[in-house]
Structure 1
C-alpha cells in the first residue's frame, strides 16, 4: 500500500466479503454469542498474518499509547478486541442489549441536556463501540437516537447491519448526501428533540481539518462537526463505549458544551481550542482502554517513513527504543470551506461545505 493510501482510511478495502460477513451473522444469530466468539480467533489470525497495513497501524499506535515497542501478542489482542466489538454489533443492533453488562457514567448530565428539549449532538469516535449507545433506548424511550454515517463506505457491513434492524436503518442520516442536506437533516432532528450521534475523530488528507496533540504527536481532526454544533447552538456531549472483555462495556458520557458559540472574528482560534480539548479527552480514554483504538490506518499522517515501515517489515520488538518521531505541523491545516479570512463568518454555505467534506465517515 502506498504512503498516501496508508493515510487515507477511505481507501482501505473491506476486511472480508459479503459471504463471510453473512456467515458470521448466521453463526451469531443461530449458534449464539459463544459460537460467534469462537470464530473470532481465526479472523484475528487472518488480519494478523495477512493484513500488513492494519498490522502496521496497530504497532505504531500501540507504541505510542503503551510507551514501549508493541509485541506480536499486543497486536493480536488489539485486533481481537476490535473483532469482539464487531460481533457484538450483531446483537446490539438486533435489540438484544440484555446480553451485555453496560455500566454507564455521566447519564445525569446527558439527561439534563435532553430535558431542555432542543436535541443533543453526541460526538463519538472509533475508540470502543459506539453501538453501546443503544442502551439509552431503555433509559430514555422518549428520545429518538439518530446516527450520522456514510452508507456508501464499507457497503458489505452496512447492508448486513441494515438487514438486522430495518426500522433503525430508516433513522440513519446519510453523510454521503450533499452538505446542505446533511445540515438540514441534523437541524430537523435536533429541533424535534432527538439525540444525533456522529463520529468526529477521522479526517483524511485534503479535507477540512485542524491538528491537535494526541499521544505525543499532532494528528488531524475534522472541523465540520464543530462548525455544525456552532451553527445549531445545541448541547454537545462526548460518548465513549469502552469494551472491557466478556460481555462488559463502560459507557461514559461527558457534557462538552451546553451550546457552542463560534464568533466570526475568532473562528480559527476557537475551532483550534475545541479540537484540542476534544483530543485531550480522546487521549484520556485511549489510555484507559488502550486496546479499544479502532483506527487501523496512519492516523497521525506521519511524515516519518520509518513509522510505517516498522509495521510492514515487523522488526524485532527491540529494533527501536523510541516510538515514531513526533511530527510538528502548522497550527492550521486548510481545506475546502474551512480556512476563511479571520473576519469571515460561519454562514450556512460554509457550514454546508464543511459538512460535505468532513462528515463522510
Structure 2
C-alpha cells in the first residue's frame, strides 16, 4: 500500500467554506404593539387570569406577554407583588387531633394541593414563600413556593429545641405545635423581592427557653449553607417572653418579633448575629389602648394596630440607634361605616389579625366573620371563611397561569 502523500489535502479541507449563518432580524414592535404593551402593564395584578385571557386572544398579544422584558417591566410598574390569597391555621380539636393549614384565595389563583393541608402548621408567609412546621411528621420545617410548586425540607437541629420550647412528655404535647415565632425571607443579593422564586432563603427562629428563665434566644437557617447558626441570646425583663401567635416583621436583614404583652419588640439582626430589645413607647396612649399588635412593615417602618371600637388605630414605629424607638405616625379608621353595626354595638371582640405589605390591606376578625380593609381607599370586603381566624398570613407573588408567563 502506498503511504499517504502529506501534500494531498483532505477532501473535507478542500471543500469550500460554508457561509456564516444568517442572523434573524429582530422584529421591530409596531405602534399598535407598543400601545397594547402599555395597556397590559396596567391590567390588575390581583386578577392573574386577565393576562392569561389576553395572551389567548392572538399571537401578537401572546408574544408581548411572554416576553421576559415585559415581565420585568410589569413587576417594576406594580412596585409590589399582589396578594393572591392568605393562609391561616386551624388548631387540633377533640375529633381531629392534628393541625390543618388553609389557603384562602382572594384571586383566581388557587393551589389545589394546599387548600387544606392536614398535619402542618403555617408559621409565616413572605417573599413568595410559605414556612410550615410539621409537629407530627418528624421534626422538620418545609419552605414552599406556591407558584412554582417547589418545596424544601429543613430538619430541626437539636440546638433549636430550646428555642422552640420542645416538649417530649407525651402525645398531648404534639397538639401544641411550635411555641416560638418564626420568619422566612428571601436571601438573594440585592433583591427587590418582586421575583423571589427558586431561593435562596433564610428561616429565623426567635423564642424563649423556660429553663433559662428571662432569656430570649434566636437562630437562623440558611439554604445556601444548609446549616443552622449558633444560638444567640439576650436578657429580658419578663419570662415566657415571645408571643408565638403574633406576626413577625422584616426590614432588610433584621427580623422583628413582638413580646407577650407588646411592651417590647425583639430585633434579630441576622447579618450581625445580634439580638436586642426595643421598648415600645406608650406615653401618648390611653391605658385601654396599650395592647397593640405588630402587623408588619409599611413604608419601611414597623406597623402596629389596635382596635378600640368603633375605631381601628394604627401606629408606625421607626427603630433608632442603640435600641431607641418612637412613634413616627398615628392615625385611625372609623369602623362604623365599614363593619355591621351590630358588631360594634354588642360586646363582640374585634381584632386586627393580618396585614398585606405593599398593598396596605389589613385583616380584621369579628364574631360575624373576617373582613379586609384597604387603608388607602377605605374599601371593606367580607372574606368567605367559616373558621375563626386568629392569624392571617397574606401570600404575595406574581402569578400568570399554571406555568406562568411572568414566573
Give the TM-score normalised by the residue count of structure 1. 0.25
- Higher helix share goes to which structure? 1
Larger Rg over CA atoms: 2
Q: Relative contact order: is structure 1 or structure 2 higher (C-alpha 8 Å, sep ≥ 6)?
A: 1
| Richer in strand (by share) | 2
Q: Structure 2 length normalisation: TM-score? A: 0.23
